[in-house]
Structure 1
């Protein structure tokens, strides 16, 4: 975009996602910076960051599935469900084997109910859950429906009464991977926690295309790493329009499907369409009136005359 873009950052372990955003703000001298999905301090990997006008499409980027790799440990449970927490329970893994773990992972694939970790940022009784947990208060944590497209666990590495294994996950927004590791252990009647995590994808955005945070901060031309949001928005919901059409949308007018190269049969009312003009994201529109030929109603407009 002429006044913003998307930045793919390879976040290191240690800083929070908010810390990374703050560093990017200072580097670019731009206040409007946001990310499409939090990574905990323990986690590393792909952080999709939107800059300036591109922050207005964050809601569409956060909806994508996300991919991760990591390591789970069986035989040790922590209060945070990850390696940063305090050990609260231990147990011998006994005769645990790869087949048992694979079977348990299959049971956690598909649409499941997941209980939110006690140490999380969700609001419970008007406070953050982690604030209540740190104060020693026991709270019935809410559960939420999440979708696990794939969950593969590698071969176990046995070390006495403890075992660890690498895993790969592709899941919907809102999924807690440390809760997934905890629940994997529960299915095996064992305490378990997430030892490490690395995000590898957010929709079509890939970690391989990201720049390290240090390289970005040390660059003399950090704007070179920004790209158009069109590269990461649904390709089958993008349409290029004429100047006449974008002017009408910018004026708040609806345009009919007959004026744009779209097939009404492929869309439903309230679907979102991304409007491109001269190779840039110019607007976001919602679909209406599909039963009567179909129209695009402007929802967010970025294009300006001049």
Structure 2
């Protein structure tokens, strides 16, 4: 199996994440392409793809924190919490009476920090083995449990008022599993005027930024990040000797080597710059918890 690499793609609006994966498969001539988290068709921005052997790294990227920019429209609620749904309620003039900048700031502050969030009913969360969005589209009742998420930054960048709506351009830093649509819904609900998302762009996934991504119609092998570079960026690196690399590949522990790590996990990189795998602390030792296919260094 080729070592492959990690590919950063800037997804355009109107296509699915699966469409991007299909483009990558065609462009790179391989079926083995996975992703570290999808984006809705309405959304744009960073998709992190794993190619060939580097798909094994996606496990360590799925839970990374993320940055989004978005536009929240206050004044209307939709059945999908975004602009692709049907408006089910609009705020009347009386509802807007107390919605000033200070009230909005209080609402944003209440949704910042460690919060409990009920995901959108059109999310991909499984309920008794079926996706929530499939249940919702089939007209079935969907009740999702609140989950703990962390919104470390929720800032309003601009406000644009119209006679019956208020658009907020926002930036959000959040933990994996946070739904920006749900933030829009809950902000609008708290203000009593309803809210939904009209634009969403993922700017960052862990250490990876959309500024370094390739357009989905310009995918090429020379844009792949090597497994070693990607893993080092995500979890840090541990240089190992050729003998240690061989031992790790054979399932042996590095005895007494735990003190060489500042954290609990790192990418083991051999003297040729190739990624051996991911090692974790086991008592005083280091143990490989994921080995990469051996690659031939140039």
Say whether the fold is shared (TM-score over 0.5): yes
Q: C-alpha displacement at 1:232, in angstroms?
A: 3.8
Q: C-alpha displacement at 1:158, in angstroms?
A: 1.1
**Per-residue CA distance 1:72-119 (angstroms, 9 max, x = gap):** 000011000000001111103335222221221111111111111111
Could you tell me whether the CA contact under 8 Å between 2:104 and 2:191 is conserved in 1? yes
Task: Decide which of 276, 286, 289 is 1:296's aligned counterpart.
Answer: 286
**Per-residue CA distance 1:15-43 (angstroms, 9 max, x = gap):** 11111111111221211111111100000
Task: Decide which of 225, 232, 255 is 2:223's aligned counterpart.
Answer: 225
Could you tell me whether the CA contact under 8 Å between 1:94 and 1:161 is conserved in 2? no
Distance 1:133 1:53 in 2: 36
Q: Aligned to 2:23, what secondary structure does the other structure show?
A: helix
Q: C-alpha displacement at 1:2, in angstroms?
A: 6.1
Q: Aligned to 1:130, what secondary structure does the other structure show?
A: helix
Distance 2:53 2:2 in 1: 9
Distance 2:224 2:130 in 1: 36
Distance 1:244 1:127 in 2: 48
Question: For the structure 1 residues 136 and 303, does the alpha-carbon distance in structure 2 shift closer, same or farther, using more than 3 Å as the test?
Answer: closer
- The answer to whether residue 147 in structure 2 is matched with residue 144 in structure 1 is yes
Question: Could you tell me which residue of structure 1 aligns to residue 246 of structure 2?
Answer: 247
**Per-residue CA distance 1:264-285 (angstroms, 9 max, x = gap):** 6x34xxx322101121211112
Question: Could you tell me which residue of structure 2 aligns to residue 29 of structure 1?
Answer: 29
Distance 1:155 1:201 in 2: 20
Distance 2:33 2:146 in 1: 30
Normalization by structure 2: what TM-score?
A: 0.92
Q: Aligned to 2:14, what secondary structure does the other structure show?
A: coil
Question: Could you tell me which residue of structure 2 aligns to residue 60 of structure 1?
Answer: 60
Question: Could you tell me which residue of structure 1 aligns to residue 267 of structure 2?
Answer: 274
Distance 1:54 1:172 in 2: 23
Counterparts of residues 85-124 of structure 1 (less than 5 Å):
85-92=85-92, 93-124=96-127
Could you tell me whether the CA contact under 8 Å between 1:98 and 1:156 is conserved in 2? no
- The answer to whether residue 216 in structure 2 is matched with residue 213 in structure 1 is yes
Could you tell me whether the CA contact under 8 Å between 2:3 and 2:227 is conserved in 1? no
Could you tell me whether the CA contact under 8 Å between 1:98 and 1:155 is conserved in 2? no
Question: Could you tell me which residue of structure 2 aligns to residue 219 of structure 1?
Answer: none
Unmatched tracts of structure 1, length 5 or more: 217-221
Question: Could you tell me which residue of structure 2 aligns to residue 175 of structure 1?
Answer: 178
Question: For the structure 1 residues 223 and 124, does the alpha-carbon distance in structure 2 shift closer, same or farther, using more than 3 Å as the test?
Answer: same
Distance 2:207 2:183 in 1: 23
Could you tell me whether the CA contact under 8 Å between 1:6 and 1:227 is conserved in 2? yes
Question: Could you tell me which residue of structure 1 aligns to residue 15 of structure 2?
Answer: 15
Q: Aligned to 2:123, what secondary structure does the other structure show?
A: coil
Distance 2:119 2:199 in 1: 18
Distance 2:227 2:187 in 1: 36
Normalization by structure 1: what TM-score?
A: 0.90
Q: Aligned to 1:141, what secondary structure does the other structure show?
A: coil
**Aligned Cα root-mean-square deviation (Å):** 1.9
Distance 2:37 2:47 in 1: 7
Task: Decide which of 281, 285, 289 is 1:287's aligned counterpart.
Answer: 281
Distance 2:175 2:228 in 1: 21
How many equivalent pairs are there?
Answer: 291
Unmatched tracts of structure 2, length 5 or more: none
Distance 2:285 2:176 in 1: 30
